[in-house]
Chains A and B, each alone.
Chain A
Amino acid sequence: MASLTPVQRTARVIPTRQRLAFRLLDDRNFLGLLMIAPAAAFLLVFLAYPLALGFWLGMTDATIGQPGRFVGFANFISLAHDQIFWLSVFNTTFYTVVASALKFGLGLYLALLLNRRLAMKSLVRAVVLLPFVTPTVLSAIAFWWIYDPQFSIISWSLIKLGLIHQYIDFLGSPWNARWSVIFANVWRGIPFVAITLLAGLQTISPSLYEAATLDGAGPWQRFRFVTLPMLSPIIAVVMTFSVLLTFTDFQLIYAITRGGPMNATQLMATLSFQRAITGGNLGEGAAIADAMVPFLLAAILFSYFGLQRRRWQQGSRD
């Protein structure tokens, strides 16, 4: 591809005055840098710089409106003795692990269902994605209403069915609240997992299944020895994204519980917002946000090796 450049340089006759500009604009490196500049500017100013600034802020006692002094690791040390911080770490881990596992299991199941012969398949697929398309906060408000202690439609239905005898206090007690927000998160996450895995399923050649069936494999064996191995690269990527998004989740919690009751659903992201913006303690909030980074790095490495393996399987040299 690169070898074409000289050909095209000599092929055209250009007025002397414009020659330099044209040559520069046809130079891969100059034009490349010029075209990458707008995106790079945005990402450097509003992504790379804040990322670095975040680490710096984590080591200062900055408050809103005051730059703050360098205090070393004092924020992290005080967090290490902070019960609420450790509770939020536990909540975040629990929330991420349980919600991701449920999203994966149910999402894969839904993808397998959607991959079968089905009337109005594309309509069903379009409808399934609706929870993912609607703004999280707005669907979270609907869940807030569904979880209302006095007028919950779930409680009402269960009472009418005779399964329970009093209204469930969905958001009032710690464990109820945890499971309620996990359910809302899973509800929103299933479509993403299902539709992306479905795209992966559709790339698996049916001849593999036919061959496995002829060799006497049952449905479970076809799933275990054909579907899963063929799907594992895309599962790695999808689940990395899912874990990343769940671990850093903010809006769902903020909309439904704001971290309550008694910080039972306080995630690291909501705690850092509470300390930094509501409480005005930018340094401490930034330190909590920084504490999320090791987990994110782990997820990114996981994703990277998932991608690597996929390339190796396809025999690509890139």
Chain B
Amino acid sequence: MADATEGMDQFERLPRRLFTLYLPLGVFLFVLLFPFYWMTTTTFKPDDELYDYARFNPFWVAHPTLEHIEKLFFETSYPSWLINTMVVSVAATAISLFCSVCAAYAIERLRFSGARYVGLAIFLAYLVPPSILFIPLAAIIFKIGLFDSDWALILTYPTFLVPFCTWLLMGYFRTIPYELEECALIDGATRLQILWKITLPLAVPGLISAGIFAFTLSWNEFIYALTFISSSENKTVPVGAITELVEGDVYHWGSLMAAALFGSLPVVILYSFFVEYYVSSLTGAVKE
């Protein structure tokens, strides 16, 4: 299927391909990747090079240094932000996956009365953006005493993770032949045994897709973390980088870029190992 639409391409010659394909694609790739290049070079540039374009070509690093990274990791709370973000993302993803597997299986395979309406409600829940929820949520978080704790984030992130994962897993469960479950039913397995021993092992790729995507979504989350967390050491990487690393009007661009780089690396590494799963969850969520 992947190369299906190439039928017409064989009639094209190289010079034409160069202008209609490789040149525009090159421009796209350059623009899409340049900020990462710029982030990386800035991280390793010493300050005198960073602010002197006359003597040093800004596109290159003449004397690489680790001073910005050192400052970031030893003079700021950056390590604890990284740990916080990791803890919150893993916990929120685990909780969401558990809830979503149960919900998706119930809706898609048990088909209890009203399952279709519950499915629709979950889809609608997916469309409610955090931007209109964060104010009332802040009031609730404050009232139940979770303000400024990791739990505030671990319990609120599932609001956008559960609908997404459920929707994705529903689509995945649908691709598993129902006959397998029927066989198990006839052999006397209970519903829960079927889920645990038949459906879940077959749904592992779907679980990985949902897990990877949920993890990156939690890692990216900003508005809840900004609103619900106030003390420096409890912040997540995105919030800490934007609120704590700027001292007055002085921007330490080297450290800021190092913060951006090292905050992106975990998700990028995870992504690079599971590209296919990530893409399938991205496109699956839209196609369903």
Contacts and interface: CB of A to CB of B under 8 A. Distances in A.
A51 B278 CA distance: 30
Contacts, number: 324
B102 A38 contact: yes
B182 interface: yes
Nearest to A186: B31
Contact of A128 (B29, B137, B192): B29
A28 B158 contact: no
B287 A292 contact: no
Contacts of B65: none
Nearest to B36: A130
Q: Is the interface of A mostly helix, strand, loop or mixed?
A: helix
A105 B125 CA distance: 29
Nearest to B192: A25
Interface residues of B, number: 107
The residue in A28, A115, A130, A135 that gathers the most chain B C-beta atoms within 10 A of its C-beta is A135
A130 B135 CA distance: 31
Interface string A173-185: 0000000000000
Contact of A251 (B10, B139, B223, B282): B223
Contact of A199 (B112, B186, B283): B283
Contact of B264 (A48, A134, A209): A134
Given A196-B286, A251-B223, A251-B238, A138 B263 contact: yes
B118 A136 contact: no
Contact of B5 (A29, A47, A115): A115
Nearest to B133: A50
Given A113-B21, A117-B9, A187-B31, A254 B242 contact: yes
Given A7-B186, A130-B268, A43 B222 contact: no
Nearest to B110: A32
Contact of A282 (B135, B156, B287): B135
Given A142-B35, A290-B132, A292-B132, A38 B222 contact: no
B132 A43 contact: no
B32 A29 contact: no
Given A32-B110, A51-B136, A126 B159 contact: no
Contacts of A202: 1-2, 4-5
Contacts of A228: none
B58 interface: yes
Interface string B202-239: 00000000000000100110110011000000000111
11 contacts: A28-B191, A31-B112, A53-B136, A110-B28, A125-B275, A131-B32, A133-B268, A137-B220, A222-B8, A282-B139, A293-B132
Given A42-B159, A273-B223, 9 more contacts: A26-B191, A47-B128, A53-B140, A122-B275, A125-B275, A130-B268, A151-B58, A156-B58, A251-B222
For the complex of A and B, list the 4 residue pairs with the smallest distance between their C-beta atoms, beginning with the closest: A32-B112, A199-B283, A39-B103, A137-B238
Interface of B: 1-10, 21, 24-25, 28-29, 31-33, 35-36, 38-39, 42, 50-51, 53, 58-59, 95, 98-100, 102-103, 105-107, 110-113, 115, 118, 122, 124-125, 127-140, 142, 155-156, 158-159, 162-163, 166, 178, 182, 185-186, 188, 190-192, 216, 219-220, 222-223, 226-227, 237-239, 241-242, 251, 253, 256-257, 259-260, 263-264, 267-268, 271-272, 275, 278-279, 282-283, 286-287
